């Protein structure tokens, strides 16, 4: 059979499945699948090379469905390729099926969860970069919607892709003109998209997205380009079924049983073809040969040292023994101290400039290919990538995030630069490890713990230099804590982390002079928190607990301790109680209620029973 005829047949099969699946599920986005049937047919059954037996084969081309709501046609393509059974398609969106409403890696061929629009291109940029690093000659294809091109994250990714000369990256925009609630800003004005991508340094091709010949030619040309290439495919939403074609009001709506019958009649019988024969298998390729060792050499410190400085040292030494470790920076590497790694391992260091969303999205793609990306910026600016962090969780991503300059202890730069909600962002994610060292040694120990953990992990570092409490090589296991002061007569337990550990220790000394003995705990593992030790220590300290943190009152240490105690002790939670301002660190810590003086007051209040 002629290739083009075969691909047209496959496209029709994909259409029929997409319609049936969504009607069976009672929800989903059939019209957005129909506009890209020819594109998917050409991609999966001619252009891409992949080993149907192994989604992790290093030789595979990769595919990212950025317009995640088109999941049904992706599942249908995998069924046509023989990767999943066709009968499984009718389980779309069921709780028992991996064929979710939007793709997640519960289905093994999906490497990154999508469905929050405008993120897929960053994932593809990360994958394409990882492939170059791993000397793969495979390619990455990202299928985007036209509506999502309004997301700034797309242009961050586009910028980086051309800067990094990722000629192994091909984006396809399914320009079907219609968004969810109305037409897109540019409708079918293809030149608007063309101008933008060209301005961002991409090769651009404009085609009829339903013309198999044009599609195949475009992919061929894209392979020859020395730039990232975007194929702007003019398409019709709902293509193939006349009563929904190019009509507003059909986004995210499955056909009713009757309408489905009419639609299937119009499309005609399911074409007979064994699509599996058209899948192209790649040549064998060697994987990058990762040496993933974790026990890096620790440093000796003297005097006061910022935890961020120790993070930089740890990353450098980790990089020496683990060639999977990658460092990404958003133009603050001299503040986060990623810069030493950048100098020593320029080939594994990437300047993403001030584009945090793309930096995290790329991290998901890089991690999906087996590398271990460390992404460091100011904690405040990680909030810029909150949606990408959220999607990293649903991607089960092995991403390591580092937020520096946390809290009011940064001082005079003012609130815009203070990370005061970061613990809340990361604690909200089930399974996300959150570590918050207070000195240089614990910083190094926490880096080792986070890299040993396979999954999302966050390290919180502090701007000012802090004294040394621990010693070289001490372990800081996930879920642990350190009791720093303890006696037989403790009347209360102070739980601190990061910079407030030192305020707690100051308070301890003063209270001791007043004959009030207290326990002091460093809860460096904010999540999971050391529930057992907290309960035990609270019980040994009169069930009076004071928490103190350089973070807003909600989402951080105080909440974590309250949740661990579940009512087993009285708690006073000290945290940054109001919108802060510029000032000196010590002034601010006093003004906003987290200094040693406030801790002492809280302890006295607790001990005197006046809550």
**Active-site positions?**
356
Nearer to a second copy, 183 or 483 (CB): 183
Q: What residues between 129 and 148 interact with a second copy by CB under 8 A?
A: 147-148
Nearer to a second copy, 13 or 93 (CB): 93
Helices (H), 322-385: 333-336, 339-344, 356-368, 379-382
Nearer to a second copy, 152 or 213 (CB): 152
Establish if 579 lies at the interface with a second copy (CB under 8 A): yes
- String of contacts with a second copy for each residue 405-424, x by CB under 8 A: ------xxxxxxx--xx--x
- The enclosing H or E element of 107 equals none
- The single residue among 245, 587, 597, 601 that binds a second copy, judged by CB under 8 A, is 587
From 31-39, 115-123, 166-174, 512-520, span contacting a second copy (CB under 8 A): 115-123
From 96-104, 306-314, 482-490, 499-507, span contacting a second copy (CB under 8 A): 96-104
Contacts of 368 (CB under 8 A, 6+ apart): 62, 111, 112, 123, 126, 127, 130, 395, 397
Contacts 24+ apart (CB under 8 A), 390-394: 390/116, 390/429, 391/112, 391/113, 391/114, 391/115, 391/116, 391/119, 391/361, 391/364, 392/360, 392/363, 392/364, 392/456, 393/429, 393/430, 393/431, 393/432, 393/456, 394/104, 394/113
- String of contacts with a second copy for each residue 196-225, x by CB under 8 A: x-xxx-------------------------
In angstroms, the CA 58 to CA 51 distance is 9
Q: What residues between 262 and 281 interact with a second copy by CB under 8 A?
A: none
- The single residue among 181, 291, 302, 303 that binds a second copy, judged by CB under 8 A, is 181
Cis peptide before 528 (omega within 30 of 0): yes
Contact predicate 154/144, CB 8 Å: yes
- The single residue among 240, 480, 553, 593 that binds a second copy, judged by CB under 8 A, is 553
Nearer to a second copy, 321 or 465 (CB): 465
Nearer to a second copy, 1 or 199 (CB): 199
Give the three-state DSSP class for 115: coil
Nearer to a second copy, 136 or 527 (CB): 527
Phi, psi of 586 (to 5 degrees): -65, -35
Q: What residues between 225 and 264 interact with a second copy by CB under 8 A?
A: none
Dihedral sign for Cα 173, 176, 179, 183, please. Answer: positive
- The single residue among 54, 85, 137, 180 that binds a second copy, judged by CB under 8 A, is 180
Phi, psi of 311 (to 5 degrees): -60, -45
- The enclosing H or E element of 501 equals helix 500-513
- The single residue among 37, 117, 372, 599 that binds a second copy, judged by CB under 8 A, is 117
To the nearest whole angstrom, how small is the minimum distance from the Cβ of residue 29 to a second copy? Answer: 10
Q: What residues between 457 and 496 interact with a second copy by CB under 8 A?
A: none
From 111-119, 168-176, 495-503, 515-523, span contacting a second copy (CB under 8 A): 111-119
Contacts of 14 (CB under 8 A, 6+ apart): 33, 37, 40, 41, 73, 76, 77, 80
Phi, psi of 173 (to 5 degrees): -105, 120
To the nearest whole angstrom, how small is the minimum distance from the Cβ of residue 551 to a second copy? Answer: 9
Q: What residues between 74 and 93 interact with a second copy by CB under 8 A?
A: 93
From 311-319, 398-406, 446-454, 587-595, span contacting a second copy (CB under 8 A): 587-595
């Amino acid at each position: 059979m002629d290739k083009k005829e075969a691909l047209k047949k496959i496209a029709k099969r994909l259409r029929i499945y997409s319609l049936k699946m969504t009607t069976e599920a009672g929800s989903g986005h059939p019209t957005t699948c129909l506009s890209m049937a020819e594109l998917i047919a050409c991609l999966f059954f001619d252009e891409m090379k992949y080993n149907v037996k192994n989604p992790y084969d290093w030789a595979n081309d990769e595919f990212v469905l950025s317009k995640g709501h088109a999941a049904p046609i992706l599942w249908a393509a995998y069924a046509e390729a023989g990767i999943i059974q066709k009968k499984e398609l009718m389980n779309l969106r069921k709780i028992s099926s991996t064929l979710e409403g939007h793709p997640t890696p519960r289905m093994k061929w999906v490497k990154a969860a999508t469905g929050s629009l405008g993120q897929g291109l960053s994932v593809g940029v990360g994958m394409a970069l990882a492939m170059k690093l791993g000397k793969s000659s495979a390619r990455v294809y990202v299928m985007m919607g036209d509506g999502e091109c309004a997301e700034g994250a797309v242009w961050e990714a586009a910028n980086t892709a051309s800067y990094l000369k990722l000629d192994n990256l091909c984006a396809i925009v399914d320009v079907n003109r219609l968004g969810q609630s109305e037409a897109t800003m540019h409708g079918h004005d293809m030149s608007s998209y063309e101008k933008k991508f060209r301005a961002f340094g991409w090769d651009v091709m404009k085609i009829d997205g339903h013309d198999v010949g044009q599609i195949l030619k475009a992919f061929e040309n894209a392979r020859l380009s020395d730039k990232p290439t975007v194929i702007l495919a003019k398409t019709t939403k709902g293509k193939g079924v006349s009563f929904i074609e190019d009509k507003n009001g059909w986004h995210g709506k499955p056909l009713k049983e009757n309408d489905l019958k009419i639609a299937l009649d119009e499309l005609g019988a399911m074409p007979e073809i064994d699509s599996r024969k058209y899948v192209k298998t790649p040549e064998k390729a060697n994987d990058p040969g990762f040496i993933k060792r974790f026990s890096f050499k620790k440093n000796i410190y003297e005097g006061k040292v910022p935890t961020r400085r120790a993070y930089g040292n740890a990353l450098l030494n980790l990089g020496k023994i683990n060639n999977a470790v990658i460092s990404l920076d958003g133009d603050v590497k001299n503040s986060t101290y990623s810069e030493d790694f950048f100098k020593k391992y320029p080939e594994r260091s990437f300047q993403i400039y001030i584009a945090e969303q793309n930096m995290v999205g790329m991290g998901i793609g890089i991690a999906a290919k087996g590398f271990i990306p460390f992404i460091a910026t100011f904690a405040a600016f990680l909030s810029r990538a909150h949606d990408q962090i959220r999607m990293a969780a649903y991607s089960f991503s092995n991403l390591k995030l580092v937020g520096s300059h946390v809290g009011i202890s940064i001082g005079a730069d003012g609130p815009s630069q203070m990370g005061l909600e970061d613990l809340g962002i990361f604690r909200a994610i089930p399974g996300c490890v959150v570590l918050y060292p207070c000195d240089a040694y614990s910083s190094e120990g926490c880096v080792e713990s986070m890299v040993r953990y396979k999954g999302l992990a966050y390290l919180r570092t502090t701007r000012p230099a802090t004294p040394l409490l621990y010693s070289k090589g001490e372990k800081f296991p996930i879920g642990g804590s350190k009791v720093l002061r303890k006696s037989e007569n403790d009347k209360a337990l102070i739980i601190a982390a990061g910079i407030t550990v030192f305020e707690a220790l100051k308070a301890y000394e003063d209270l001791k002079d007043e004959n009030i003995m207290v326990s002091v705990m460093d809860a460096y593992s904010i999540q999971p928190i050391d529930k057992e030790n907290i309960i035990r220590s609270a019980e040994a300290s009169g069930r009076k607990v004071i928490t103190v943190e350089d973070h807003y009152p909600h989402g951080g240490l105080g909440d974590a301790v309250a949740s661990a105690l579940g009512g087993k002790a009285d708690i006073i939670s000290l945290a940054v109680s109001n919108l802060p301002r510029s000032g000196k660190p010590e002034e601010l810590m006093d003004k906003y209620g987290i200094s040693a003086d406030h801790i002492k007051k809280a302890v006295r209040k607790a001990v005197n029973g006046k809550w």
